Amino acid sequence: MANYSRKETIANCPLPKNSSSKVMASSKTHHHLRRPPHPKKTNCLINEFGGENFSAIKKNQKNYCSYAEQLLKDRPVDLVGELERGHGRFDIRDITLVAVDTGVTPFPHILQIVKCTRIYRSTKEGAEPEMSVRLFGTSHEYGSKTAAQISELIREHWSVGNLNHWQRDASYWREDRAPKRDPKGAKNLGLLRNALLAVIPFEQFDSLNDAFDYYRDHREKSVKIILTASPCKD
């Protein structure tokens, strides 16, 4: 479906109805492309410890991004998303899947590339529709999960970012903009911040910065939360 028609849909969207997404069948194809130079280390580590990886392909990963775009070129949409409403916006998410030829790929633990095309707009009157495209790589073999299941994996991936990574960058920490010259120091700092995110009672504050301000002004509370908080629940 053309992007302009999808934008028209969301520009004039009514309240969504509870109906299942339409799934369009696609066949597994093999692609023989030139190898980019390096595998993604994080995915290799996840595989080494027996996990399944599902990670975003970022624009600054130029070789990886170019590789994925070549695989996805001219691929049909596998899942035509239904209109949804939530968090102050209307959303439509289309999913495109493509298999990775493990015989030529330099990314040994990526078996499938995923493209999520999102058309969205705010529910505020006069808001214009916008479009974004995100790419993902996963070790889930092509065909092992439906496009709808892959769409749910994307939601879970984004929820981790909203609860953790976004908090760490949008708060006073400004993690993505802070220089880290010592890799071990950066890892230790990341672990410490994760531990703090696990024990801070977010329901009591409007934002992480509000929590920081509160505990800065009430240092005895800071000590108490470190000594008594129990992030692990039975």
Residue type, 87: H
Residue type, 232: C
Please check whether residue 134 is in contact with residue 116, taking contact to mean a CB–CB distance below 8 angstroms. Answer: yes
Q: What is the pLDDT of residues 184-223, one digit of tens each?
A: 887 888 788 888 888 888 778 877 888 888 988 999 988 8
Q: Reply yes or no on whether the pLDDT at 234 is more than 50.
A: no
Q: What is the pLDDT of residues 13-45, one digit of tens each?
A: 544 343 333 333 333 444 444 444 445 666 667
Q: Reply yes or no on whether the pLDDT at 98 is more than 90.
A: yes
CA distances from 96 to 22, 24, 79, 162 (A): 13, 10, 7, 23
91-121: b (≥16 Cβ within 10 Å) or e: bbbbbbbbbbeeeebbbebbbbbbbbbbbbb
Domain locations in the chain?
3-145, 175-228
Please check whether residue 62 is in contact with residue 142, taking contact to mean a CB–CB distance below 8 angstroms. Answer: no
**Burial tier of 173 (Cβ tally within 10 Å: 0-12, 13-18, 19+):** middle
Strands 54-57 and 130-138: antiparallel
Chain Cα centroid distance, residue 51: 17
